C-alpha cells in the first residue's frame, strides 16, 4: 500500500463528539464586557422602551422601613439616584407631600417617563439625565443641600470598579447630617444562581442579564467597606431573605437583598430620633444568617420583583424572550419563533436564531423541489427554525431534522408543529444529534438504515473543532448511492459564510472522509457555475440572489 493511500473512514480513529455551540463556562468575553460598559445607557433605554413603567412595583415599603427619616420638622430635600420610571418617588411624594425630590437616571427614556407620569409636578420633582460615574451632581444640585439620598436597586447596575465614583458624587451634595437609604441585591439571591448557571458572569458577583442590563450582588462586608472607604459610616446594615412560593407548581423562590443606612463619616450626630440603631462592625457569616432569620420571621417583608425572575420561575409566558420571524418561501409563509435579538448576545446556543444561510437554502429547496423529491433527507444542525426540513418534507419521502441543543430542539418542535400539518408533518422527524456521538448516530440509523440521499447543513462550519466530526458523521449517515447521473447521486450540501474556518480546511476534512467537492456557488469548479448542478438551481428560479449576503457560499459534495 502506498504511503499516500487514504484510509477508509472505518479505519480512521474515531473523532470525539462535538456540538457546534460552545458549552464552556468561561463567562462573558472581553469584547462583550467592554460593549456592555460602553453601551450601558442604551441597554437601559431599551429596557424602559419595552417595559415603560410596568416592570417594577411601586415601592411603598420606603415608608414602612424608613418613615422616620422622611417625617419631622422642615422640608426634606431628597435625591433619588436611578429614579427609573418613578416607582420610588411617586409613592413617596404621595405619602410626604412636603418633600422635594431631585430625580436622576442615566436613561433619557426613564426620565421622560417620570415627566409624563400623571402625578408629576415641577414644584415637587426635578428630573434630569445624569451618569453618576461621569457627570458632576453639583451642576444640578447645590453642595451639601440634600437630606436623604435613596439608592434602591441602582448601585448594582454600576461596574464595581466605578462604584466609588457614584458614592463620591453623592457625598458632595449630601448634608453633613444627611442619610443614604440603600436596598440592593445580595449574594446568594436566586437571580444570581440562575445567571451563574447561564454562564453570564462579567466578574466576581457581577452579571449581565439577557436584555443587556447588568446586576452586581453585594455581600455585607463588601458594601460596608465600599461606603467606609468613600467617606460614610454604616448606621444600619442587614441581610434580608424572603421565600416566594407557587404552591400549584411546587416552586419556591429565595430572594435575598441587603438593606442599609449610611451617613457621612464627619457627621457630629449619628443618632436618629426615637429609633434604636447602632453602628455595626463588618458582619461575620454567623451574624448574617441571624439577620436573615430575624427579618424573615418577625415582620412581613415586601419583595421587589425587579428582575422578572418570578415570570421565569413560575412559568408565566416567556414571550418577551422570543420573537416571530415571518419567512416567505415560494408563496408559502412560515412563522418561526426564535430567541429575540435582544437576548441573543448572551445565548450560548447559536441554534436559537435563524441564520441567513438557512433562508437561502430553504428558498432553493422551495423553488427546486426536485432536489429532494422522493428522497430521504437529513439536516445537520438545523437550529430552532428548521425551515429547510419543513420545505423538504413537502417533496421528500423522509426528513430527519437534527440538532445537539435541547432548548433548540424544544423550540424546533414547536415551530414544526405550528407551521406544517399532515401528511407533510408525518414525514418529518426531529432527533437529537451531537456529531460523533455513537448513540445518537445509531438512533438515526434505526429510523433509516439505508442512509440519506441528501444531507444539508447551513452555517455549521464556523467552529474549527467541529469540522472533522461533521464530515465523519455525514459519511456514516449518507447513502452509498453514487447514481448514474451527477444530480441523482447522494450529496452533502453546505450553505454558509466562511468565518473562522476557511475553504482549504473544509476541503481537507471532506477529503479525509471521502467527500469530493463537485461544485461551489457562486463560482463553479470549472467554467460557468450556471451550467452545473448548483447553478441550475438559480437559473430561472426566481430567487433574488441580490437579497442575500454576497458572502454566502454553497458547497456541493458527493462521496468518492
Cell of 331: 408563496
Report for 43-57, 144-158, 475-489, 510-524: range of highest mean pLDDT: 144-158
Q: For residue 249, what pLDDT is reported?
A: 56
Comparison of pLDDT for 361 and 246, the residue scoring more = 361
pLDDT reported for residue 532? 82
- The per-residue pLDDT for range 444-468, each reduced to its tens digit, is 999 999 999 999 999 999 888 999 9
pLDDT value of residue 87? 85
Q: Which residue has the higher pLDDT, 198 or 21?
A: 198
Question: Among residues 503, 301, 332, 347, which one has the least CA distance to residue 22?
Answer: 347
pLDDT on residue 310:
44
Instruction: Check residue 550 and give its pLDDT.
Output: 82
Mean pLDDT over residues 432-438, rounded? 95
Which 3 state secondary structure label does DSSP give 129?
Answer: strand
pLDDT tens for 146-184 read 999 999 999 999 999 999 999 999 999 999 999 999 999
* pLDDT top residue among 75 and 334: 334
- pLDDT category of residue 63 using cuts at 50, 70 and 90: confident
Percent over 90 (pLDDT), the chain: 53
Instruction: Tell me the pLDDT band of 271, cut-offs 50, 70 and 90.
Output: very low
Residue 273 above 70 pLDDT?
no
Check residue 445 and give its pLDDT: 96
Other CB atoms within a 10 A radius of the CB of residue 413 amount to: 14
Residue of 492, 509, 381 lying closest to 433 (CA atoms): 381
Q: pLDDT value at position 397?
A: 96
Look at residues 333, 428, 414, 334 and name the one whose alpha carbon lies nearest to residue 376. Answer: 428
The pLDDT, as a whole number, for residue 526 is 42
Rg (Cα) of the chain, in Å, rounded? 30
Domains detected in the chain: 30-313 (3.40.50.150), 319-559 (3.40.50.150)
Residue 89, helix vs strand vs coil? helix
Among 48-62, 65-79, 351-365, the range with the most confident prediction by mean pLDDT is 351-365
Does the pLDDT of residue 112 top 80, yes or no? yes
Give mean pLDDT, residues 101-113.
Answer: 92
- Residues facing 100 on adjacent strands: 77
Find the helix or strand (DSSP H, E) in which 313 lies.
Answer: helix 309-313
Average pLDDT, the chain: 82
Confidence of residue 528 (pLDDT cuts 50, 70, 90): very low
Among 67-71, 154-158, 178-182, 555-559, name the one with the lowest average pLDDT.
67-71
- What is the pLDDT averaged over residues 100-113? 92
Could you report the per-residue pLDDT of 363-397, keeping only the tens digit for each? 999 999 999 999 999 999 999 999 999 999 999 99
Position 277 scores a pLDDT of 37
- pLDDT at 61 (0 to 100): 78
pLDDT at res. 286: 33
Residue 405 pLDDT > 80, yes or no? Answer: yes
Q: Which three cell numbers stand for residue 543?
A: 430567487
Residue 52 CB: number of other CB atoms within 10 A? Answer: 13
- Cα angle vertex 327, ends 323, 328, to 5°? 155
Q: Cβ distance 148 to 68 under 8 Å? A: no
For 203, phi then psi, to 5°, come to: -155, -175
Residue-level pLDDT at 243: 72
Between CA 307 and CA 157 the distance in angstroms is: 12
96/197: higher pLDDT:
96
Closest CA to 261 of 230, 223, 222: 223
Amino acid at each position: 500500500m502506498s504511503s499516500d493511500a487514504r484510509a477508509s473512514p472505518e479505519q480512521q480513529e474515531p473523532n470525539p463528539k462535538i456540538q457546534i455551540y460552545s458549552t464552556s463556562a468561561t463567562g462573558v468575553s472581553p469584547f462583550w464586557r467592554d460593549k456592555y460598559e460602553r453601551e450601558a445607557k442604551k441597554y437601559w433605554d431599551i429596557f424602559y422602551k419595552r417595559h415603560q413603567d410596568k416592570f417594577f412595583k411601586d415601592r411603598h415599603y420606603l415608608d414602612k422601613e424608613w418613615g422616620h427619616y422622611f417625617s419631622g420638622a422642615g422640608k426634606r430635600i431628597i435625591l433619588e439616584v436611578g429614579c427609573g420610571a418613578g416607582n420610588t418617588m411617586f409613592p413617596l411624594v404621595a405619602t410626604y407631600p412636603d418633600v422635594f425630590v431631585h430625580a436622576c437616571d442615566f436613561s433619557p427614556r426613564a426620565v421622560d417617563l417620570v415627566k409624563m407620569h400623571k402625578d408629576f409636578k415641577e414644584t415637587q420633582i426635578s428630573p434630569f439625565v445624569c451618569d453618576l460615574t461621569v457627570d458632576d451632581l453639583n451642576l444640578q444640585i447645590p453642595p451639601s443641600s440634600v437630606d436623604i439620598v435613596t439608592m434602591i436597586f441602582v448601585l448594582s447596575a454600576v461596574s464595581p470598579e466605578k462604584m466609588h465614583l457614584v458614592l463620591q458624587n453623592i457625598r458632595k451634595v449630601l448634608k453633613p447630617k444627611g442619610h443614604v437609604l440603600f436596598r440592593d441585591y445580595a449574594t446568594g439571591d436566586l437571580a444570581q444562581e440562575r445567571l451563574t448557571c447561564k454562564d453570564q458572569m462579567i466578574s466576581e458577583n457581577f452579571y449581565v442579564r439577557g436584555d443587556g442590563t447588568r446586576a452586581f450582588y453585594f455581600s455585607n462586608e463588601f458594601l460596608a467597606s465600599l461606603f467606609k472607604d468613600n467617606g460614610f459610616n454604616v448606621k444600619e446594615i442587614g441581610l434580608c431573605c424572603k421565600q416566594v412560593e407557587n404552591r400549584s407548581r411546587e416552586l419556591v423562590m429565595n430572594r435575598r437583598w441587603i438593606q442599609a443606612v449610611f451617613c457621612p463619616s464627619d457627621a457630629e450626630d449619628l443618632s436618629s430620633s426615637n429609633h434604636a440603631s447602632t453602628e455595626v462592625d463588618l458582619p461575620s457569616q454567623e451574624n448574617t444568617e441571624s439577620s436573615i432569620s430575624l427579618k424573615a420571621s418577625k415582620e412581613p417583608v415586601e419583595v421587589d420583583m425587579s428582575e422578572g425572575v418570578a415570570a421565569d420561575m413560575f412559568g408565566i409566558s416567556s414571550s418577551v424572550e422570543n420573537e416571530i420571524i415571518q419567512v416567505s418561501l415560494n408563496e408559502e409563509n412560515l412563522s418561526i419563533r426564535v430567541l429575540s435579538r435582544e437576548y441573543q448576545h448572551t445565548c450560548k446556543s447559536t441554534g436559537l436564531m435563524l441564520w441567513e444561510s438557512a433562508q437561502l437554502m430553504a428558498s432553493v429547496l422551495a423553488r427546486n423541489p426536485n432536489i429532494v423529491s422522493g428522497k430521504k433527507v437529513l439536516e445537520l444542525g438545523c437550529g430552532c427554525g428548521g425551515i429547510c426540513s419543513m420545505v423538504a418534507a413537502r417533496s421528500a419521502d423522509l426528513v430527519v431534522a437534527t440538532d445537539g441543543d435541547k432548548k433548540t430542539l424544544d423550540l424546533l418542535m414547536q415551530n414544526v408543529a405550528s407551521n406544517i400539518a399532515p401528511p407533510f408533518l408525518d414525514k418529518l422527524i426531529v432527533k437529537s444529534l451531537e456529531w460523533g456521538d455513537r448513540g445518537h448516530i445509531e438512533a438515526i440509523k434505526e429510523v433509516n438504515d439505508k442512509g440519506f440521499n441528501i444531507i444539508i447543513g447551513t452555517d455549521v462550519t464556523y467552529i474549527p473543532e467541529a469540522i472533522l466530526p461533521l464530515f465523519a458523521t455525514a459519511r456514516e449517515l449518507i447513502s452509498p448511492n453514487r447514481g448514474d447521473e451527477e444530480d441523482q447521486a447522494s450529496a452533502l450540501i453546505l450553505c454558509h459564510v466562511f468565518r473562522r474556518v476557511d475553504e482549504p480546511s473544509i476541503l481537507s476534512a471532506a477529503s479525509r472522509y471521502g467527500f469530493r467537492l463537485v461544485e461551489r456557488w457562486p463560482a463553479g469548479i470549472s467554467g460557468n457555475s450556471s451550467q452545473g448542478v448548483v447553478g441550475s438551481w438559480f437559473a430561472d428560479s426566481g430567487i433574488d440572489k441580490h437579497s442575500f449576503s454576497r458572502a454566502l457560499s454553497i458547497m456541493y459534495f458527493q462521496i468518492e
